[in-house]
Structure 1
Amino acid sequence: MAAEAEHVIDLGHLPGAARRGLRLLLETVVVPTLLLYVFMVTVSGVAGLAAVLGWCAVTVAVRIATVDRVPGVLLLAITMLVGRTVVALALSSVYVYLLQPVLGSVFMATLFIGSALVGRPITLRLAQDFVHLPVLMTEDRRVRRMFVQVSLLWGVSRLLDAGMSLGVLHWGVAAGVFSRGLFSGLLTALSVAACAYWGWSRLRQIEGLRFSFGHRAVTAT
C-alpha cells in the first residue's frame, strides 16, 4: 500500500507568539483590572473606570509610537474594553462593567458549542488565522472531529467562567474585580493550554502529518 501523502502544519515561531499573547493579556486584562481595583478601593469606582479608559489610550499610543502596525487583535480587545467601560461609566456602575464579560462568556459558549453541534466548528476557522492548514486536512473527518471537540471544550470553559464570575459577585464588587483579573485570566490560560494540548495530541495520531516550527512569526492580526 502506498504511503499516505505527507501534510505539514506550520506552527511558525511559537516563543514569539507566546510572548505576544502574554503581552496582550497584561495590556487588556491584568493591568486594567489592577487599576480598577486600586482606584476603586482608594478613590471610587468611577475613578477606577476612568483609569481603565486612560490605560487604553496609553496602550494604543505606545503601540503606535513603537511599532509600524498596531495588531488587529489588540485593537479589537481595546475596543471591547473601551466599550464596556464607557457603558459602565455612563451608568456609574462597576457592577455593569463586571456583568458585561459574563454575558460575553455566555455568548461565546453558545457560539462555540452551537458550531460544534452542527458540525461546523468555529475553531477550525480560527485556527487558520494562526497556523497554515493544508486544504485536504481541513476536509479530513479526523481533523474536523478534533476541532469539534476543541470547540466543545472551549465552550464549556466559557460557561464555567460565567458561572464563576456570577458566583464571586455575590461576595461584593471588590471580589468580582479581583476574580475577573485573576481567576478568569487563569481559567482562560488553562483553557487555552488544554485546547492546544488536546488538538496537538489528536493530530499527532494522524499518519502522514508533521509539524513545522518556522522562524517566521505567526501572523494572527
Structure 2
Amino acid sequence: MTSHRDTAHEVVIELGKVRPQLIRGIRVFVETIAVPTVLLFALLYTAGLGWGLCAVIGWCGLVLVLRRALGHPLPSTLLLSAGMLCGRAAMALVLSSALVYVLQPVFGSALLGVLFLGSAAIGRPIVIRLARDFVSLPAHLFHHDGIRRLFTQVTVVWGVSRILDAGMSLGLLHWGLGFGLVTRPFFSGLLSALTIGVCAAWALRTLRRMPGVKLRLRPA
C-alpha cells in the first residue's frame, strides 16, 4: 500500500505493484540467506568453521561494495540483514563457536515474539509503528477502530510466527549442530515468507470488507 486519497465518505487506499516488491525480496533472500548459507555449508566440512564464517562476512561486504560500485540502491532491509549476519558471524568467529552463530537468532526471534505479543496485549500493536515506515496512510486512519484491530491481529500473527521460529530453530539442533547451522536460515526464511503471505492475504480480505475503506490498484 503506497498512497491514499480521502473522499467525503470513504478512504481510498492505492495498492502498489506486487511484482517489484517480490523480486526485491527474493534478491535480498538470495544475497543474505541462500548464498551465505551455501558458503558456510561448503566450507564448514572442508576448510573449517573459521573459514566458513570469514566467507560469510566477506560475501556480505562484497554484495554491499558491488551494489554501491554499480550504482544500485542499498535498501534498508539489505543493510539490516547484512549487518545482523555479519555481527553474528563475527561474534561466532571471535568465540570460535558455531553454537553462538545458531543461538543468536533463536534468542532474537523469541524476544521479538514476546515484544509483538506484548504490544498487542496492551493495545499498542508494534506493527503500527513499523507500518508508518513503509506505508503512506493518513494519520487519522491509524486511529480507525477497524484498522487498529487489523494491526493488532497482524501483530499477533507475527508474534506467534517468531515464537515458532525460535522453537523450530531449537528443534533443528536436535539433528546436530551442523544440520541446524545450515538449515535454519532456509526454514526461517520460508516461515517468514509464509507469515508475510498470510498477513497480506488477511489484510486485503479485511480491508475489502471494512466499511468506509476502498482499495484501488495504482495506475501503471
Letter in 1 for 2:90: V
Q: What is the letter of the counterpart of residue 154 of structure 1?
A: W
1:122-160 CA-to-partner distances (Å, cap 9, x unmatched) read: 111222322222223211111101110110111001100
Q: Secondary structure at the match of 1:129?
A: helix
Q: Of residues 108, 115, 136 in structure 1, which corresponds to 2:112?
A: 108
Uncovered stretches (5+) of structure 2, i.e. residues with no partner: 1-6
Q: Report the Cα offset of residue 99 of structure 1.
A: 0.6
Paired residues, number: 214
Shift of 1:65: 1.4
Equivalent position amino acid for 1:139 in 2: H
Comparing 68-77 and 112-121, the one that deviates more: 68-77
Distance change >3 Å, CA 204–CA 185, structure 1 → 2? same
Structure 1 residue 63: Cα displacement: 1.1
Return the alpha-carbon distance in structure 1 between the equivalents of residues 37 and 11 of structure 2.
43
Residue 203 of structure 2 corresponds to 199
Contact in 1 for aligned 2:157/2:199 (Cα 8 Å): yes
- Distance in 2, matches of 1:44 and 1:200, equals 47
Report the residue type matching 1:116 in the other structure: A
Greater shift, 51-60 or 181-190, is seen at 181-190
Q: Please tell me the root mean square deviation across aligned C-alpha atoms, in Å.
A: 1.8
For residues 66 and 211 of structure 1, the distance between their equivalents in structure 2, rounded to whole angstroms, comes to: 37
Q: How does 1:91-130 map to 2 (within 5 A)?
A: 91-130=95-134
Partners of 2:51 and 2:116 in 1: how far apart?
Answer: 36
Question: Is the counterpart of residue 24 in structure 1 residue 36 in structure 2?
Answer: no
**Distance (Å, rounded) in 2 between the aligned partners of 1:19 and 1:11:** 17
Which sections of structure 1, spanning at least 5 residues, go unmatched?
217-221
Tell me, what secondary structure is at the counterpart of 1:171?
coil
Q: Relative contact order, CA 8 A, sep 6+: which one is greater? A: 1
1:12 touches 1:212 (CA, 8 Å); kept in 2? no
Instruction: Give the counterpart letter for 2:110 in structure 1.
Output: V
1:36 aligns with 2:35: no
Matched position secondary structure for 1:210: strand
4+ residue stretches of structure 1 with deviation over 4 A? none
Q: Structure 1's 22 and 150: CA in aligned 2 closer, same or farther, altered over 3 A? A: same
1:211 aligns with one of 191, 215, 218? 215
1:58 aligned residue: 62
Give me the identity figure in percent. Answer: 47
What is the TM-score when the length of structure 1 is the normalising length? 0.90
The 1-side partners of 2:14 and 2:130 are apart by 15
SS of alignment partner, residue 10 of structure 1: strand
